Amino acid sequence: MENSTIQKITDDLLPQKFGKQGKLWVAFLSILCVIGFIAYCRQVYKGLVVTSMRDYVSWGIYISNFVFFVAISLVGSLITAVLRLTNAEWSTPLTRIAEIIAVSAITFASIIIVVDMGRPDRFYNLFLHGRLQSPIIWDVIVITTYFFISLLLLYFPLLPDLQILLKYKEKTSKGLYKLYSFLGSFWKNTPEQEKISNRAINILSITIIPVAFSIHTVTSWLFATTYRPGWDSTNFGAYFISGAFLVGAGAVIVAMYVFRAHYNLEKYITDSHFDKMGKVLVLLALLYLYFNVNEFLVPAFKMKKSEEEHLMGLFTGEFAAVFWFAISTAMIIPILILVFKNGRKPFPAFIAGILVVIGSWFKRYLIVTPTLLHPFLPMHDVPANYKHYFPTWEEWAIAIGSLAGALLIITIFARIFPIIPIHETIIETEQHEKA
């Protein structure tokens, strides 16, 4: 392979300084994070009373956000592990995007749980007084484990790229150079090192799949092990996992489009990538739609009295607008867009990805809140506002701040590290040329 080609790939994929747009984007996200932090400080100072959560709805948009983050984090295992193990080489440029989405999402999933607790000092009680029988403890364990696996899966493939970054000392700041040195100065590309690294990546790719399935199954069990209309379902594990893969894949398509457009990566994230990811997204949307039909049609067919209020609230009642919006935007419209070849072009696929992500957030809200408003045994003599839930500005600010925080991690990561693996791209280009 010619040096000029290698040089071209390296130059194209090296992290670039923020331009005007990038700076504005970081400033915008930072402002949202600061507003969220101020709202959180108010919540810590005044207590959870600043939220709309009361005796009925004790899990509001914080937990919806948590479920959304956990769901989106599953993409790490889909793109990195499943596609790697199935030798889908086309996924190489997407692996790092998927992994950083997974790491940032799982980080904020953990943070939002502490926010939901009200008093942050209560977090250590989970470890001091947690019961092994409780799905909440299972969730704490699998989230921690998944976070470390995702971090390692991000780190190992980064090692060869760190060596390349260290080579371009003149293009990096002192601080970043120190960071690259700390993280990967020991990587010398020796066959032994490569062998160990490849083995580690394979081990991680295998390990992450059951852990990823566990993380979202356990999250679904937080609901399904509670006897309530809408949650009392044996379908929940599979229902959650299929939904998680869908939103994760949607997020990857959005990130692919943004990085491609912003960093001019058309040669690396090609139309073919959008086409393939579009097909994956259609498959996942159909799968999730199938589980949704199961989840709603079966109880609606029987329409047990206790479930009726909850289901009718979703279909035609208080939550109907949000419900049909979520079903349409997360599944039906993306399927209709992506099922056609032209719909799998970058821009339509990006729109479909955006719709999936937005629809999926509202879907998580619908899983959490309406059920809490319709318990089997309604409370008596509660204030009227207990029977409805609309988040306060503090809740919106914290939820939006956490989403902005996750985006900020991804943005800063892309500024510091190559968002497409340089070393792997060079190797694969070499292999293609030889073939």
Partner 1 sequence: MKKHSYLSIVVVLLSFIGLSVLAQATAKNDLQLSVSYFNSNNKIQYLVAHTKCKIDGKFQLVPNVEISFYISNDSSATNLLGKATTNEKGEAVLMIPPAAKSEWVKSSKQNFEVVSKASALYDETKANTPVSKAKLKIETSDDKKITVTVLEQKDTAWTIVKGVELKVAIKRLDGDLNVNETQTFTTDSTGTISAEFKRDSLPGDLNGNLTLIAKVEDNDTYGNLTVEKVVPWGSKIQYSTGFDRRTLFARRGHSPIWLELLAYSIILAVWIILIHLLGQIKKIKKLGEGVIVEMKH
Residues of this chain that interact with partner 1 (CB under 8 A) are: 6, 10, 129-133, 138, 141, 145, 148-149, 152, 155-156, 159, 163-164, 167, 185-190, 192-193, 196-197, 199-200, 203-204, 207, 211, 422-423, 426
User: Quick check: 248 and 254 in contact, CB under 8 A?
Assistant: no
Minimum distance, C-beta of residue 196 to partner 1, in the bound complex (Å): 5
Minimum distance, C-beta of residue 331 to partner 1, in the bound complex (Å): 33
Q: How far apart are CA 269 and CA 425, in angstroms?
A: 11
Minimum distance, C-beta of residue 185 to partner 1, in the bound complex (Å): 8
Number of Cβ within a 10 Å radius of residue 171? 14
Quick one: DSSP state of residue 80?
Answer: I
Please identify, using beta-carbon distances, which residue of 329 and 425 lies nearer to partner 1: 425
Please identify, using beta-carbon distances, which residue of 98 and 211 lies nearer to partner 1: 211
Please identify, using beta-carbon distances, which residue of 7 and 58 lies nearer to partner 1: 7
Quick one: DSSP state of residue 185?
Answer: T
Minimum distance, C-beta of residue 171 to partner 1, in the bound complex (Å): 14
Please identify, using beta-carbon distances, which residue of 110 and 145 lies nearer to partner 1: 145
Q: Which of 12, 3, 32 is nearest to 408 (CA)?
A: 32
Q: How far apart are CA 247 and CA 403, in angstroms?
A: 14
Minimum distance, C-beta of residue 155 to partner 1, in the bound complex (Å): 8
Q: How far apart are CA 153 and CA 212, in angstroms?
A: 13
Alpha helices in 157-235 (DSSP H): 158-167, 174-184, 191-224
Minimum distance, C-beta of residue 114 to partner 1, in the bound complex (Å): 21
Please identify, using beta-carbon distances, which residue of 167 and 304 lies nearer to partner 1: 167
Q: How far apart are CA 338 and CA 323, in angstroms?
A: 22
Please identify, using beta-carbon distances, which residue of 132 and 377 lies nearer to partner 1: 132
Please identify, using beta-carbon distances, which residue of 164 and 241 lies nearer to partner 1: 164
Instruction: Provide the CA 150 distance to its chain's centre, in angstroms.
Output: 12
User: Quick check: 43 and 118 in contact, CB under 8 A?
Assistant: yes
Number of Cβ within a 10 Å radius of residue 285? 28
Minimum distance, C-beta of residue 189 to partner 1, in the bound complex (Å): 6
Please identify, using beta-carbon distances, which residue of 197 and 233 lies nearer to partner 1: 197
Return the SS3 of 91: helix
Buried b (16+ CB within 10 A) or exposed e, 379-413: eeeeeeeeeebebbebbebbbbbbbbbbbbbbbeb
Please identify, using beta-carbon distances, which residue of 60 and 184 lies nearer to partner 1: 184
Minimum distance, C-beta of residue 43 to partner 1, in the bound complex (Å): 28
DSSP states along 247-299: HHHHHHHHHHHHHHHHHT-TTTS-HHHHHHHHHHHHHHHHHHHHHHHHHHHHH
Minimum distance, C-beta of residue 131 to partner 1, in the bound complex (Å): 5
